[in-house]
Structure 1
Amino acid sequence: MTGMDVLRILLIAGGAAMAVSCGGEAPPKREAPARPVAKAAAAAALPAVDVGAEIASFYKERGFKPLWVRRSGLTPAGERLLEMIGRAGEDGLDPSKYGLPLLRSAAGAVAGGDAATVAKAELLLSRAFADYVRDLHQPANEKAVFFVDEELAPARTSRREVLEAAAAAPSLERHLEQAGQMNPLYEALRTALAQYRSSGGDPAGERLLLANMERARSIPANPGRRYVIVDTAGARLWMVEGRKVVDSMKVIVGKPDMATPEMAGLIRYLTLNPYWNMPPDLARERAKKVLKRGPGVVAAERLQILSDWSDRPRVLNASQVNWRAVASGAQPLRMRQLPGGDNMMGNVKFMLPNRLGIYLHDTPNKANFQLLERRLSSGCVRVEDAQRLSRWLFGGKVVRPSGPAPEQNVDLPEPVPVYITYLTAVPKAGGGALFRPDVYRRDARMLAMVDDRARQRRA
């Protein structure tokens, strides 16, 4: 009996693919495959290996050819896979979840083992590989990040898809390297965790590093050819090409009570000479000023009062507004500031259209970038050097408005992803980790996930 024959038997006996026969076809109805299959499994003196229908159908369609084993032992790819599973703890994952002790035992028995032993090792390795890759690339809390553009979210793959990608690879060993590769931010945190552990770091710091690796897991392994990362905890922006940071600048982000969300979207165009659409809470504050100082406040701040939030609102006179109702919050009011001068948007907005109304933009208040505490905005991200960011987005080209007309939109040559994250633990220059205050109070939820994994390991 060959290894492929026994692989068929184990799949059927495990209940994963009851329609599979030794010929790869569904058996005729007059046959009863369960009894002879059970006898064959018993003769092999091995328990059935239940790997599920997805893995069973994968093997059926490839003629039950193995990926990881041969009669003389594991293939180089199988050895590499076993090593990867053994190091899953470096990613905050639990090697025992993937059956590491059983994997090692089965792998050690392959050389010189019978066909059933070889087949069992193959199935166990495939199940472990599929589960490990999915866990590595999928964030524990998928709802923590708002994905404006779903194509930027980490891919959700099935066990079968993971195995099909491996089987189709020209080099399985090279494919394993790629499967373990994550985005540069995550990999830097993984290195920091290893250094922190080796230097005898305390458990609290380790938990924070693991929690921030979970955040970084929300950025795809391949974030794009060119992309932007904004870290709201550190109030900093990076421009990245491939796996290399090419530039960086300070940013101003949301106040603690108006926190900038974790999100990802595509910067699709610039808006030159932008209006500033005033947030509702600030419109209430302006209404209070009008009640105290008179309607001249509106003209002094170059504000427009608009009839509604449509694309073509009417401009209202200050005398048409019930300022007391607006100041109390009983009546909403749309107000916007005209372009130029002290417009809060500066000269340009970097638009990633989204329902939260969050984007990157210029600002006239450059002095605020010298502050250590730069959580000052109403949620949007103010950039230190909008012209420098614009030139990078346009490949070195300087983009200028055509005259004074407001709201001039200029499409990027190609959309550029921006990933807005929140890192309370980051790699430190020279090795180790730097820990930051949890100003937005988001760590508790992430730490609870880390603790849940730890409890599962101890159970």
Structure 2
Amino acid sequence: MTRALLFALGAAALVPTSAATLQAREAAAAASPSASLRAEIAKRAGSDLREFYAARDNRPLWIAANGVSPAAARLLDLLETAPRDRIKPGKVKASALARAFEAARGGTPEDLAKAEVAASKSYVAYVKALRSGKRAPMIYESEALSPAVPTARSALQTAERAPSLEGHLRTMAWMHPLYAPLRKALDDATLDEAQRRQIALNLDRLRAIPANPASRYVLVDTASARLWMYENGRPAGTMRVVVGKPEEAMQTPTMAGYIRYAVVNPYWNVPPDLVRSRVAWNVNTKGTTYLGNGGYQVLSDWSDQARPIDPARIDWRAVEAGGDTAPRVRQLPGGSNFMGTVKFMFPNDQGIYLHDTPDKDLLRKDVRQLSSGCVRLEDAQRLGRWLMNRPLPRRPRGDPEQRLALPELVPVYITYLTAMPEGGRIVFRDDVYARDRLGDARLALGGRSRADRP
């Protein structure tokens, strides 16, 4: 269907209108459908749609008294541009729906009912294809964190309950809030092919995140090195973070988990590769006093019953050379501990979490891909208050590793967005992890569950 026909069928869908006006218009259009139209809808709704329409007395959702509603015209526009979502228009029957909408202009109950049922079927097919289709890889702690594919009835009920059906389509409310404005940017004819490809890759990444994972969740973007706290579908706060370095082994992976508890007064368990490259080098250069001055302990093993051992018993030159197994080294709480005063745990095999940091200077830099993989927080206390619904101890005292359970699990999603809607425009960022160029499948950091990536 051409753009001209879309305007003829529902020009109001393409003109900015207040939500209240749209709601009133849509309600008026469906308020008094004829008995014959409702009978035709009841006859044509298949098993997948019958319960939905029966619950609304077979009133139309998409069809107005004089033909196609503005929301239906916007739906058709989405379907005909479905290649932006890696979906073929044929899969959502865009051409068949366009023909049904054209026939509905005659206004017979039979043609209107055909268009109504076709619109619902295409809408459901589109929502399902988006939620189950091609998306960038993400490590999920649980499948419950991945986008769920709705039933036909639930998809339509969500659309039905929206304050404005046209607004529901315009914002693509079944997707993450960043998705629709980024997709809309592809309307800009001034974009070059590289920018279009960059947007397409970032749409793939956003498809890996549910529309609204929970009433509250955390989103971390490693490309901008920034964190957002989302509440009821909207950002409730943001802060700078430091994330993993560009080297493949140090990158912060794309992943999702549940933040379950905070650890106050934490140890830092030094990863074996950093024991070799950092700790061993310093011991060999400065002697074992380096360990005491930095608050480090060498432990017998990785068990909960591990005991401190004399660092002089370790062949540190062999450790630095990689010819000997790196011993377990941890840094005591307080002072210069790399974990700061608190860390927020979402258990995972990658050894990644969110934590405080004593090195605030790094957070003032514009480029903040500077950590060994974990996410260092600009304001751990503020995040803690938001997660716990109460303040955390500012200067923790007492036993190390004090564990504080969250009142409820809070999902955290770590993604990589090199093109993002921001202040009414699209901001393009450097591909610091080379994932735009080399692909997203190269997720860094294999199993390192016993150590901490600072």
Whether these two folds match at TM > 0.5 is: yes
Q: Which amino acid aligns with 2:240?
A: K
Instruction: Give the aligned partner of residue 419 of structure 2.
Output: 425
Instruction: Give the aligned partner of residue 327 of structure 1.
Output: 320
- Residues in 1 aligned to 2:436 and 2:203: alpha-carbon distance in whole angstroms: 12
Question: How is 1:207-218 mapped onto 2 (pairs within 5 angstroms)?
Answer: 207-218=197-208
Q: Report if aligned partners of 1:390, 1:399 keep a CA contact under 8 Å in 2.
A: no
Instruction: Give the aligned partner of residue 344 of structure 2.
Output: 350
Instruction: Give the aligned partner of residue 154 of structure 1.
Output: 147
Match of 2:156 among 157, 166, 169: 166
Q: Report if aligned partners of 1:280, 1:334 keep a CA contact under 8 Å in 2.
A: yes
Residue 239 of structure 1 deviates from its aligned partner by 2.2
Using a 3 Å threshold, how does the CA distance of structure 1 residues 72 and 273 change in structure 2: closer, same or farther?
A: closer
Residue 162 of structure 1 deviates from its aligned partner by 2.4
> Please, which moves more after superposition, 409-418 or 347-356?
409-418
**1:277 and 2:266 aligned:** no
> 2:97 is paired with a residue of what secondary structure?
helix
- Residues in 2 aligned to 1:93 and 1:169: alpha-carbon distance in whole angstroms: 21
- Residues in 2 aligned to 1:416 and 1:335: alpha-carbon distance in whole angstroms: 31
Residue 255 of structure 1 deviates from its aligned partner by 0.8
Q: Which amino acid aligns with 2:311?
A: A
Instruction: Give the aligned partner of residue 310 of structure 1.
Output: 303
Instruction: Give the aligned partner of residue 398 of structure 2.
Output: 404
Residue 425 of structure 1 deviates from its aligned partner by 1.3
Match of 1:204 among 185, 188, 194: 194
Q: Which amino acid aligns with 1:301?
A: G
Q: Which amino acid aligns with 1:183?
A: H
Residue 447 of structure 1 deviates from its aligned partner by 9.4
Q: Report if aligned partners of 2:342, 2:380 keep a CA contact under 8 Å in 1.
A: yes
- Residues in 2 aligned to 1:324 and 1:283: alpha-carbon distance in whole angstroms: 12
- Residues in 1 aligned to 2:155 and 2:81: alpha-carbon distance in whole angstroms: 22
> 2:252 is paired with a residue of what secondary structure?
coil
CA offsets, 1:121-166, max 9 Å, x none? 5665444223211233345135x11122432211134xxx124542
Structure 1: state its 5+ residue gaps: 9-55, 449-459
Residue 192 of structure 1 deviates from its aligned partner by 3.9
Structure 2: state its 5+ residue gaps: 1-38, 442-454
Instruction: Report sequence identity in percent.
Output: 44
Q: Report if aligned partners of 1:251, 1:384 keep a CA contact under 8 Å in 2.
A: yes
- Residues in 2 aligned to 1:447 and 1:312: alpha-carbon distance in whole angstroms: 39
Q: Report if aligned partners of 2:262, 2:403 keep a CA contact under 8 Å in 1.
A: yes
Match of 1:232 among 209, 222, 230: 222
Q: Report if aligned partners of 2:355, 2:376 keep a CA contact under 8 Å in 1.
A: yes
Q: Report if aligned partners of 1:6, 1:116 keep a CA contact under 8 Å in 2.
A: no
Using a 3 Å threshold, how does the CA distance of structure 1 residues 210 and 238 change in structure 2: closer, same or farther?
A: same
**1:102 and 2:102 aligned:** no
- Residues in 2 aligned to 1:168 and 1:407: alpha-carbon distance in whole angstroms: 44
Residue 94 of structure 1 deviates from its aligned partner by 4.6
- Residues in 1 aligned to 2:48 and 2:178: alpha-carbon distance in whole angstroms: 34
- Residues in 2 aligned to 1:71 and 1:228: alpha-carbon distance in whole angstroms: 40
Match of 1:189 among 182, 190, 210: 182
Instruction: Give the aligned partner of residue 267 of structure 1.
Output: 259
Q: Which amino acid aligns with 2:144?
A: E
Instruction: Give the aligned partner of residue 32 of structure 1.
Output: none
TM-score, normalising length: structure 2 = 0.74
- Residues in 2 aligned to 1:84 and 1:113: alpha-carbon distance in whole angstroms: 24
Using a 3 Å threshold, how does the CA distance of structure 1 residues 367 and 101 change in structure 2: closer, same or farther?
A: same
Residue 284 of structure 1 deviates from its aligned partner by 0.8
CA offsets, 1:423-451, max 9 Å, x none? 1112354x432221111111136699xxx
- Residues in 1 aligned to 2:242 and 2:353: alpha-carbon distance in whole angstroms: 12
Using a 3 Å threshold, how does the CA distance of structure 1 residues 337 and 210 change in structure 2: closer, same or farther?
A: same
> 2:343 is paired with a residue of what secondary structure?
strand
Q: Which amino acid aligns with 1:351?
A: M
Residue 294 of structure 1 deviates from its aligned partner by 2.7
Q: Which amino acid aligns with 2:263?
A: T
TM-score, normalising length: structure 1 = 0.74
